Amino acid sequence: MFCFYMKSFLKQFRIMAKTLLHAFKTFFGGVVEQPEFLFLKQKNVAYLVVSKSACSSIKKAMVEDEVKEDIGDDYQIHQNKRVKELTVRGRLKVEAEPYVFTYVRNPFSRLVSAYVNKFEDFNKIKKVGFEYADYLGGWFELSDSFEDFARKVCDIPDRLSDRHFMGQCFLIYSLSDTKIDDIFKLDNMDETFPSLASRFGFGEVPHFNRTTEYRYEDYYSSPELVEMVYRRYKEDVDKLGYRDVYKSLISRF
């Protein structure tokens, strides 16, 4: 019985501590996240991780041959000890300037992917719990619809955003102070990643989280919702080349 109360106390303490930390950063101009790089020193190549843009697949392709072991699938990859050893958070401090690349994604589908992963993947939620339970003092609820989630996300500035829905341009051009040599689109990964694999000896990209159970367009139930998400991710849409996606979504109504 004592262990039960201690576990409950520690959980509540963690929630309170994280809430106070986020409150401090809110009022004093801090940021919730740091940029994350997967850096292979021997090959002098680094990948700036953009969450919900095939980052699990890219990590597995980059490091499995490097570490000479099976690093698991999807969620397991981020918990793997060897992968963590190759991960750099914050500033990428290296002696020789590495080649740095990243992959970006259509911001409209990326937001839906974050919602599906965190709010609708109940098998994962059963294993790890609701990951946003203590985020910004409980800003999200597991019962939130996609529209609820989107509206709440649109009220959060990038500096306080979780990495799964932070603006990609904010991450690339503001949060990270490392020059990115190439920014590739997830849409074209089948054409662009093989050249990276050949150049640096990466493996093939496995396909995690690919499902035919939903179409991201169907989550946008009104033109108002599309416009709201566009305003939130306007820089991503315009600078990364997704205006055609925005126009296509609007034309559905």
Distance between CA 219 and CA 210 in Å, rounded?
17
State the residue for tokens 């139930």. Answer: 221
- Comparing 240 with 205, which gets the higher pLDDT? 240
What is the phi/psi pair of residue 170, to 5°? -60, -45
Alpha-carbon span 140 to 153, nearest angstrom: 9
Residue whose C-alpha is closest to residue 88's, from 176, 216, 219: 176
- Tell me the three state secondary structure of residue 129: coil
Give, in order, the Cα–Cα distances in Å from 76 to each of 9, 57, 59, 81, 99.
28, 11, 11, 10, 26
The H or E element spanning position 179 is none
CA atoms in the 13 A half-sphere facing the CB of 139: 18
252: exposed, middle or buried (Cβ count in 10 Å: 0-12, 13-18, 19+): exposed
Domain boundaries, the chain: 14-250
- Its pTM surpasses 0.75: yes
Residues 6 or more apart whose Cβ sits within 8 Å of residue 246: 108, 226, 230, 237
Q: Residues 76-112: pLDDT tens digits?
A: 555 666 777 888 898 887 777 899 999 999 999 999 9
For 11-44, write each residue's pLDDT tens digit: 444 555 555 555 545 554 567 789 999 999 889 9
Segment 38-58 mean pLDDT:
92
> Chain-wide mean pLDDT for the chain?
84
> Average pLDDT of 150-155?
98
Integer Cα distance of 226 and 154 in angstroms: 12
Picking from 175-184, 207-216, 222-231, 239-248, which range would have the lowest pLDDT averaged per residue? 207-216
Rounded to an integer, what distance in angstroms lies between the CA atom of residue 81 and that of residue 31?
26
